[in-house]
Amino acid sequence: MFERRLYFHVDWLLVAAVLLLAGIGLAMIYSTTYVRLPDGSGRPGREFFTQMYAMGIGGIALVVCLMIDYRKLAEHSLLVYGGLIAALLVVLVAGDSAGGAQRWINVGRFKFQPSEFGRITLALILAMYFGENRRGARTTGDLMIAGMFAIVPFLLIAKQPDLGTAATLIPVAFGIAYLAGLRLRLIGIALGIAILLAPIAWNFALKDYQKSRIVIFLDPEQDPRGAGYQPIQARVTVGSGGLKGKGFMQGTQGQYKFLPVAHNDFIFSVLAEEHGFLGVLAALGLYLFVILRALEAARMAKDRIGAYLVGGLICGFAFQVIYNITMSAGLAPVKGLTLPLMSYGGSSMIATLAAFGLILNVRMRRFTN
């Protein structure tokens, strides 16, 4: 089914940028999880190898997502969606828990996190729904239905609880709705409702640790040893890097564990510490390139399904990147939100590469019928 001529339309620049970012991430994971033994020797940490395997599997996922025509996938999106909901229900009932959250399904030796695939699934089904719909996202009824598609997985993921991952569904849904012609007035109304609901959410929906994260974010010095520790240490990590950084594996904040979960949520802080402002600019440039290049693919897309699909995926991606980097500089409340392509996390890496498979897919098939 893969026609040879399509090979020439693969966006190799985007592939290169994506792989480069994943490679930088892998190097940072190597640096932060390197195990130093008391006799002075050392070895790479377990996380480094896990991430490498995940990249391999992600590469396969990317190729698979690239080869199947995205329209075919979109046609079967309801099935995919059903599969996701089923998986999320399994997690809720029989999932594996760690750190007070139940997020994983054990598949043999591997732990699989279905919520990471929520964005792709949601993007597919919404792109399909709005792309096939001649009216676009104009009527309230359409929006209600689209909203339902988004809210079900959102609630299931938030219940795990994993508010961070659940929140990444919102930009996907809004991105597609916006591209499909959602009137700005409606966005305004939605924002208004959100603001009105905020106090209610504060009192009833948010857990104490979530509340304290927000309060502490606003004033980290209030509790520098407790909840304010992470934002402060994140700033120290980033700021101490300076222009050129302390050098690969020479950071102190990440290496000596002053910054928690350095290989995961705060991987960008470690990059900033060890490679300085120049490293930050390089990584920011690569991410910006990837996002703008993907948006270009959306513009070139042959049909609205393709444009919406790419748009939704990239809005989710961009939101996650911007939020995580802001957080890694200690400028946003700490949430369990990883940096796509760089943070440690198998499911996240596979899902992200699969999403880029879809983006490449749309661009590649812009001339086909």
List residues binding another protein (CB under 8 A).
36, 136, 175, 178-179, 181, 233, 235-243, 252-253, 256-258, 272, 276-277, 280-281, 284, 287-288, 291-292, 295, 298-299, 304, 307, 311, 314-315, 318, 322, 325-326, 329, 331
Closer by beta carbon to another protein, 157 or else 179: 179
Q: Minimal distance in Å, beta carbon 238 to another protein?
A: 5
The 8-class DSSP code of residue 201 comes to I
Instruction: Give the shortest CB-198-to-another protein separation in angstroms.
Output: 22
The two tokens of residue 361 are 């897919």
Residue 363 has φ and ψ, to the nearest 5°, of -65, -40
309, 123 Cβ separation under 8 angstroms: yes
Q: In DSSP terms, which residues pair with 112 in a beta bridge?
A: 105
CB 333 within 8 A of CB 148: no
**Residue (307 or 360) nearer to another protein, CB:** 307
Please report where in the chains the tokens 């120049």 appear, as a residue: 278
Residue with Cβ nearer another protein (216 or 259): 259
In the complex, minimum distance from the CB of residue 295 to another protein, in angstroms, rounded to a whole number: 5
Instruction: Rank residues 231 and 345 by Cβ distance to another protein and give the closer one.
Output: 231
The CB-of-225 to another protein minimum distance in angstroms stands at 11
Q: Give the shortest CB-228-to-another protein separation in angstroms.
A: 14
Contacts of residue 365, defined as CB under 8 A and 6 or more positions apart, other chains included, come to: 6, 9, 69, 70, 302, 306
What single string gives the DSSP state of each residue in 294-312?
HHHHHHH-SSHHHHHHHHH
Supply the minimum distance, in Å, between the C-beta of residue 197 and another protein: 24
Q: Rounded to whole angstroms, what are the CA distances from 310 to 36, 64, 118, 224, 252? A: 43, 16, 15, 41, 39
Instruction: Return the number of the residue (61 or 298) whose C-beta is nearest another protein.
Output: 298
- Which of these, 286, 84, 49, 62, lies nearest to 165 by C-alpha position? 84
Closer residue to another protein in complex, CB, 1/243 = 243
